[in-house]
Chain A
């Protein structure tokens, strides 16, 4: 389950930090007894895990059946709603012809390149803002103003400046990733509980020890949240930029299908976009459990 952390763009309110909350993933073992009891009390009955898995299926299957029926009985015109078989067939064809993989590859390369740039920039900026009051004074207002314009607001401007080539995509994607990462890093560092800093001071930590043993571990959860949010946003931005100016990629596949009224191509591409988004998010979630697994419900 994703944690949609709020990004306070007024710089005043603290983020609602669900990083300190329980993991909502079902298999976590560091849930306190109180939590587990609550789950039982809120639920009507405890459902065993196998049922869990099966219960998720009836709805999508029903929708699929309805869809197939609607397409067959032509309740809705085939141009508006292609049959599931048509979509599956198109999907298979584009997979076999290598077209799907080629487009997917290009999109993935773009998003990772842009995300990498945004990650490095965001972390650097966030750390600088968090640790240095001078940097904060000089840079933060400008950064805040910069962040107020959503990524897409920059699109026409960038199109004029750098054209429609790869540079446009990389810049927009890195901006999409940089802002949440920088903000969350900054806030994460700022919101390290004072009592932890005090403990560090009592133990006479050097600055370096303070950073590596207290600040960064405490800030890790919000930072990782920022990274997840950044990747989601980067993927989102990639799709829209490819919809607007591209000759290849998943977004381009969607545009092509739209122009030629082949909604099955559009649906197949949309499914792939969703699947990739899911995998990316789950991947980061898995890393998060690994990284933050040592956190306990201490207080």
Chain B
């Protein structure tokens, strides 16, 4: 093995540090005359200003409120619908094909329809976000419930469980990983959709609107700051979802394959 010049934990920082240095040098030595090239320091300064004045929090708050509202509606509807499809073969036969066709329609194609159906205001955006979260939750819930091992159901039948007991003690715990996977995906999709909705349904405040404004005024520092904030929020949402998932599924151990 080669001599390890850089100690393990620090290695991740090497490339980013090099890039920032390159960036700073490009500005300092004027390698590019483009008005878009702003110094790293300026981005930092803009960030500080935004945080200090609280403007970024107002925008972020508006975005997150819509995100979580839409996610809550979509995820709960998704859980119910997915459970219905999973539990009733009849329902699956009737509704399934239509649902799977609807699911194929690229999410953002719904926006013009929603904006005409709901007009201006947050209603259209929240409806859109609910749709975004709805589909992955339904799919994964359905898959999870369908994948309950038959042996466990046999046991339930032998022990003469009532339907309620069957659900609480066998089906839901067994489907739990899939359901949580669906919710996690729903969260990711909802955040993605939040940004898209702000670009396409332009009214009101939001972090996406902040970036679009920055872009229109050629404020590169604002745009970069926005990118950073968006990434941070995405990371946080992911982390929270993973923690909840880990906590809820802790009793399962680390087995991956079910069989």
Give Cα A139 to B13, complex, Å. 9
- Per the bound structure, the CA–CA distance linking A156 and B98 in Å amounts to 36
A56-B98, A240-B200 as given contacts; A142 in contact with B15, CB under 8 Å = yes
**Smallest Cβ-Cβ distance to A154: which chain B residue:** B227
Shortest Cβ gap from B257 to chain A (Å) = 5
A14, B254: Cα distance in complex, Å: 9
Contact A6 B192 (CB under 8 A): no
A10 engages B227 (CB within 8 Å): no
Given the known A-B contacts A79-B116, A270-B110, are A43 and B181 also in contact in the complex, defined by CB atoms under 8 Å?
no
* Chain B: minimal CB distance from A128 (Å): 13
- The stretch of B23-31, B45-53, B139-147 in contact with A is B139-147
The verdict on A75 contacting chain B, using a C-beta distance below 8 Å, is: no
Q: Is the interface of B mostly helix, strand, loop or mixed?
A: helix
Contact with A along B83-111 (1 / 0, CB 8 A): 00000011001111110111111111111
* Residue contact B90 to A157, C-beta cutoff 8 Å: no
Q: How far is the CB of B137 from chain A (nearest CB, A)?
A: 10
From A24, A51, A270, give the contact of B109 (CB < 8 A): A270
Q: Is the CB of A297 within 8 A of B259?
A: yes
Binding stretch for chain A, among B54-62, B68-76, B215-223: B215-223
The answer to the question of B129 belonging to the interface, with a C-beta cut-off of 8 Å to chain A, is no
- Known contacts A4-B136, A56-B94, A59-B95; is A266 also within 8 Å of B113 by CB? yes
Task: Give the docked Cα–Cα distance between A1 and B103 (Å).
Answer: 11
Is A208 an interface residue when CB atoms closer than 8 A count as contact? no
CB distance from A221 to the nearest CB of B (A): 11
The segment out of A31-39, A95-103, A114-122, A286-294 that lies at the interface is A31-39
Q: How many A-B contacts at CB < 8 Å in the complex?
A: 216
Q: For residues 120 through 143 of chain A, which have their beta carbon under 8 Å from a beta carbon of chain B?
A: 137-142
A4 to B257, CA, bound (A): 16
Contact A41 B153 (CB under 8 A): yes
Give the nearest-CB partner of B229 in chain A.
A153
Q: Which of A4, A142, A148, A156 contacts B181 (CB 8 A)?
A: A4
**A281 touches B (CB below 8 Å):** yes
Whether a CB of chain A sits under 8 angstroms from the CB of B124 is: no
Tell me the minimal C-beta distance from B69 to chain A in angstroms: 19
Contact A278 B242 (CB under 8 A): no
| A13 contacts partner chain B, Cβ-Cβ < 8 Å | yes
Is A55's CB within 8 Å of the partner chain B? yes
Q: Is residue A191 contacting chain B, with contact meaning CB distance below 8 A?
A: yes
Q: B147 to A37, Cβ gap below 8 A?
A: no
Which residues of chain B have C-beta atoms less than 8 A from A35's C-beta? 150
B132–chain A nearest beta-carbon distance, Å: 10
CA distance A220 to B41 in the complex (A): 45
Cα–Cα, bound, A251→B127 (Å)? 20
| Bound complex: CA A12 to CA B235 (Å) | 13
Residues of chain A contacted by B151 (CB below 8 angstroms): 34
What is the CB-to-nearest-CB distance from B134 to chain A, in angstroms, rounded to a whole number?
A: 13
Could you tell me the distance between the alpha carbons of A281 and B106 in the complex, rounded to whole angstroms?
A: 12
Q: A13 and B106: CB pair below 8 A? A: no
Q: Which residue of B has the minimal Cβ distance to A233?
A: B192
Chain A residues positioned under 8 Å from B153 (CB to CB):
38, 41-42
Whether the pair A8, B242 counts as a contact (CB closer than 8 A) is: yes
Whether B220 and A141, one on each chain, are in contact in the complex, defined by CB atoms closer than 8 angstroms, is no
Report Cα–Cα, A39/B70, bound state, in Å.
35
CB-contacts of A233-285 with B (<8 A):
235-236, 238-240, 243-244, 251, 254-255, 257-258, 261, 263, 266-267, 269-271, 273-275, 277-278, 281
A24 with B146: in contact, given A149-B227, A160-B218 (CB under 8 Å)? yes
Give A275 to B235 CA distance when docked, in angstroms: 33
Contact yes or no, A152 B196, CB < 8 A? yes
CB distance from A188 to the nearest CB of B (A): 12
B220 and A281 within 8 A (CB): no
Does B159 belong to the interface (CB within 8 Å)?
A: no
Give the 8 A-B CB pairs with smallest separation, nearest first: A38-B150, A141-B12, A56-B97, A274-B105, A258-B112, A137-B11, A153-B230, A156-B215
